Structures are given as C-alpha cells and as structure tokens.
Amino acid sequence: KVYSKESVALVKQSWELLKVDAQANAVAFFKEVFEIAPAAKGFFSFMQDTSIPFEDNPKVKFHALQVFKLTGDAAAQLGEKGAYELLQSRLHSLAAKHLSKGVQDAHFEVVKEALLRTIAAGLPDLWSPALKQAWADAYDALATTLKNEMHAQA
Ligand code: HEM
C-alpha cells in the first residue's frame, strides 16, 4: 500500500501533539479499550490488581505508554524509508507475547476503535475525516504485520 504524503504528514503532525501528553493519552486509550470490551481486562496481568484504580497503577501507566508509543511511532514512520524498522525489530517477540496471551484477530478491531477515539478526544480541533482515515490506514498496516507474524508462529 502506498501512503500519500498528505496522510503521512497528518499522522506525524497529530502524533507530535499527542506525545506532548503521552501519559494521559495512553491511559485514556486503555480506558477506551476497556469501555468497548470490558472482557479485555482479563488479558492484562496488571489488571488483576483491583486494589487501586487502574489509572493509578504504575504498571498500567507504563504498559499503556509502551503500546501507545510503539503504535504511534511506527505509524508516523509509514511511507518513509525503513518504515517498519521499529516494529520489525520487536515483531517476533511481540507476536509471541500476544499469542501467549490469547489475543485474536478480532481484538485488533477493538484496539483500532479505541485508538481512533483517543485521538478524536485528544485533538478535537484537528480531528477530521482525513485524519481519521490516515490513522486507520496506519494502524491497519501495523495490525496486519503483527497478525501475519502471529499466524506464522501459531
Ligand atoms: C503487550 C503493542 C494490539 C493485548 C504489548 C506490548 C506492546 C504491544 C509493545 C508490550 C510487550 C512486552 O511486554 O514486551 C501492540 C501493538 C498492537 C497491539 C502495536 C496493534 C498494532 C493488541 C491487541 C490486544 C493486545 C489487539 C488484545 C486485547 C496485549 C496484552 C499484552 C500486550 C494482553 C501483555 C500485557 C501484559 O504484560 O500483561 N502489546 N499491541 N495488544 N498486548 Fe498488545
């Protein structure tokens, strides 16, 4: 798939803004995931600790930031030389990790919807159909790469 210069620029520009408040956006992203699919909580080891609200759990904060940053950083590099390097360098172990947790193809749609909602809420002034499409395409490319590697390892 070829990404237009415009959509790559949209993802990059919005990602720079989202990263300013990466921690808060990352937690918001996980809140969206669990709102869309409450059962997804069962996948995450750190969600078993219910003694503190999940947004105050340092493990949740760390993990949310990792997932959010990897997705955004890789998405922002799409269309550039070496676009997948960031993801590729961790693809094997990431696929193994997700397989071992029982993540299935359908779950990637939940994460996609949560990501788009987080961007819409985080950047209301910038949100547009073009921005939404640019992020959807970037996420789909990442998800397909990760899913293919999971299928190969299954
Ligand atoms: C862990 C990225 C989609 C569930 C992780 C980690 C990263 C990551 C970077 C940390 C891995 C580590 O511990 O070394 C991504 C990306 C995704 C994606 C880039 C999409 C393109 C999903 C989906 C699910 C999911 C769809 C399903 C709910 C998990 C779980 C863990 C994890 C359960 C392990 C958490 C734990 O340690 O308990 N993911 N992920 N991820 N991810 Fe994803």
In the chain, domain spans: 5-153
Across the range 54-77, mean pLDDT stands at 77
Q: Exposed, middle or buried, 30 (CB in 10 Å: 0-12/13-18/19+)? A: buried
Q: In the structure, what pLDDT confidence band is assigned to residue 53 with cuts at 50, 70 and 90?
A: confident
Helices within 21-57 (DSSP H only): 22-36
Using the atom order of ligand 1, give the atom closest to the CA of residue 93: 14
pLDDT surpassing 90 at residue 42 = no
- The third-level CATH classification (topology) of the domain covering 5-153 is Globin-like (1.10.490)
Would you state the structure tokens that stand for residue 18, as one six-digit string? 């989202």
Centre of ligand 1 to C-alpha 108, Å, is: 10
DSSP 44: -
pLDDT surpassing 90 at residue 48 = no
Across the range 16-40, mean pLDDT stands at 89
Using the atom order of ligand 1, give the atom closest to the CA of residue 47: 38
**Which ipTM score applies to this complex?**
0.96
